[in-house]
Amino acid sequence: MRSFRPRWLLWLLPAAIALACSSQVSGTIALITGTGATTFTQTPLPTTLTITATDADGGVTVLSQSALPGTGDVTLPDQSTSVTAAITASATDDAGNTVVWGESLPVEFDNLEGVTLDIFVQRTGQLAVLPNPLSASVASPLLCILDGRFVLATGGSVVAEQEATQVYDLLTWTPLESPPALPVAPLSLACTGTQALLLNGTNSTFYDFSDSSYTQATAPTGGNFAEVTGGGSVPTPDGSTFIVAATNPTLGMTVSVLYMDSQENMVFAQLQNERSGAAATFVPTTDSLAGLGLVVIGGSGSAPALEVLAESAAQATSLTQFPPDSTVGAGATALDSKHILVAGGVDAMTKKDPGVRVYNLSCVPDGGTANCAPTPWNAPMVTMPSAQAFAINATSAFVVGNDASNNTHAYKVTATSATEITFNVPRKGATAVQLPTGPVAVVGGDVTMESFFVLPTGM
């Protein structure tokens, strides 16, 4: 799946490890799996293991290649201490297909001397249980990534549960033993660096996980936090976040949006049309269609289906070529810079699943102002009143959602199929977040977390 690193972060291994005195270091890679996993024993069997390093510019260096089954941990050849890279482990079968994959966060090689670096690996195209469960299950969690390294989960049905946290370390593959309790129960959440913005009306607070300090958040001019509290968060590749009130169907018809950049600067903005239960995703403005950013879809039976809001802008723009879409609770994801996939949710009137469909942002109306209908995909799924979607590549996506009984489902969808991906542990009320290395983690409904990954075409 597409890697979604907000920024390139360097992670040092434990401080007790001395730096090497020479310009060359060597270390060891340990491939770890979840409890009871059959990662290396499923058919087709992985037969060749390749370890590579990817630097900040995308350059890839092969560190080692060996036959499987192996004899244990992988010892790396000497490496330059000046290198910082993410280390990837991939295993192919006899046909050359990648069937096992895992990647570390970026690490400085001068801290690898004599160290064993754990890399979680999983079967591609499947859900895999991450090592080491959380200390408690979180109901319908709010999720975000702290400092490019930690999964933060908080949620529940009462204030005490909502103020509790679970924090999972993606470098050591373990949860924090004593995660902090929050000073307020957030109803919306946005993270930048070690700071989390906890939105709860007038009690909204910035909490710093590096030292457990917190300060009252000050709303920017043009709005107040109560207008967006409860809205869903849409992170961007540069570490910014949009909080979109219109994604929450319980907030009624609304136009309010809060944008926060990676330096915690905030701006209130408005959609052009009131919406409720809309889907939202992000299309980078650096792609081929300049001026895009946040894309909001559906949630209105009268307004154009799509509107876009550039980062830091105060007013969204409706894309009038698209007819109205009254779907509520759907998930959306950008397949590429021109195509938005929408999946899950229900029609506001019929309560039926409108089906997976793709909007072409470059569509030019032919003889009308609102005749750019989306392209339907033949990808039937169970009806899920709430859903999330994550692009795998330009022709497929991963969809996670909850049905009317709150049972969690997951699918890989293409233009011609929807394949349900089985959870290792049945879940209710789970939500998902994309990890910095690309996989999607599903959290909630159990103390375990599960990860899904498919290698995009061409990688």
Q: What's the pLDDT at 39? A: 95
243, two tokens: 């909080």
Average pLDDT value for residue range 119-148: 96
- Is residue 140 located within the same domain as residue 97? no
DSSP state letter for 152: E
pLDDT averaged over every residue in the chain? 90
Length of the chain: 459
106, 124, 142 - which closes a domain: 124
Helix (H) or strand (E) holding 162: helix 159-163
Same domain (yes/no): 316, 428? yes
DSSP single-letter state for residue 261:
-
CA gap 244, 138 in Å, rounded: 23
CATH number of the domain bearing residue 270: 2.120.10.80
Q: Which of 74, 91, 124 is the last residue of a domain?
A: 124
Verify that 63 and 144 share a domain, yes or no: no
Please give the Cα distance from 299 to 275 (Å, whole number).
Answer: 5
Asked if the structure places residue 99 within a domain, the reply is yes
Which pLDDT does position 234 carry in this prediction? 97
- Boundary of a domain, candidates 124, 154, 174: 124
Q: Which amino acid is at 403?
A: D
Instruction: Decide: 102 and 31 in contact? Cβ < 8 Å.
Output: yes
Overall average pLDDT of the 237-254 stretch: 96
Q: Say whether pLDDT at 343 is over 60.
A: yes
Alpha-carbon gap, residue 153 to 209, rounded angstroms: 13
Give pLDDT, residue 1: 67
Least confident window among 158-167, 191-200, 355-364, 426-435: 158-167
Q: Which residues contact 119 (CB under 8 A, 6 or more apart)?
A: 29, 30, 31, 32, 87, 89, 102, 103, 104
Question: Where is average pLDDT lowest: 161-165, 326-330, 447-451?
Answer: 161-165
Residue 9 covered by a domain: no
- Using CA atoms, how far residue 356 sits from 13, 112, 232, 418, 459, in Å, is 43, 46, 21, 9, 26
Token pair recorded at residue 409: 């489902």
- Beta-carbon contacts of 71 under 8 Å, excluding residues fewer than 6 positions away, are none
Q: Yes or no: say if 410 and 127 are a contact pair by the CB < 8 Å rule.
A: yes
What is the pTM assigned to this prediction?
0.93
| DSSP secondary structure string for all residues of 15-50 | TTSPPPSSSEE--EEEEE--TT--TTTSSSPP-EEE
Residue with the bigger pLDDT between 446 and 69: it is: 446
- Claim to verify: residue 142 and residue 43 sit in the same structural domain: no
Q: Is the model's pLDDT at 10 over the cut of 50?
A: no
Q: Write out the two tokens for 452.
A: 């899904």
Quick one: pLDDT band at residue 29, thresholds 50, 70, 90?
confident
> For position 80, which CATH number holds?
2.60.40.1120
Tokens of 88: 């990837």
Q: Are residues 120 and 251 in the same domain?
A: no
- The reply to whether omega before 324 is within 30° of 0 (cis) is no
Reported confidence tier of residue 9, pLDDT bands at 50, 70, 90: very low
Residue 12 lies in a domain: no
Share of the chain above pLDDT 90, in %: 77
What pLDDT does 364 receive?
A: 82
Region 143-157: what's the mean pLDDT?
Answer: 94
Domain containing residue 267: 129-452
The predicted pLDDT at position 15 comes to: 30
Residue 101 predicted with pLDDT over 80:
yes
What pLDDT was estimated at residue 366?
A: 72
CA–CA gap between residue 396 and residue 412 (Å, rounded): 7
Looking at the fold, whether 259 and 169 belong to one and the same domain comes out as: yes
Q: Is residue 457 part of a domain?
A: no
Q: Do 435 and 327 lie in a common domain?
A: yes
**Claim to verify: residue 180 and residue 74 sit in the same structural domain:** no
| pLDDT recorded at residue 73 | 72
* pLDDT tens-digit readout, 251-298: 999 999 999 999 999 999 999 999 999 999 999 764 444 457 999 999
Q: Work out how many domains the chain is built from and give that number.
A: 2
As a whole number of angstroms, the distance between CA 269 and CA 275 comes to 14
If asked whether residues 111 and 135 sit together in one domain, one would say no
Q: Are residues 254 and 369 in the same domain?
A: yes
Residue 8 lies in a domain: no
447 and 353 within one domain: yes
| Alpha carbon distance 422, 408 (integer Å) | 10
- C-alpha–C-alpha distance, residues 62 and 105, integer Å: 17
**15 vs 228, more confident:** 228
Determine the pLDDT at residue 5: 42
Segment 182-227, tens digit of pLDDT: 999 999 999 999 999 999 999 999 999 999 999 999 999 999 999 9
In a domain? residue 78: yes
Look at residue 360 and tell me if it is in a domain: yes
Same domain for 406 and 293, yes or no, is: yes
Residue partners of 345: CB distance under 8 A and separation at least 6: 277, 279, 298, 327, 328, 329, 330, 331, 353, 354, 384, 385, 386, 387
Assess if residue 274 is contained within a domain.
yes
Per-residue confidence (pLDDT) for residue 76, from 0 to 100: 67
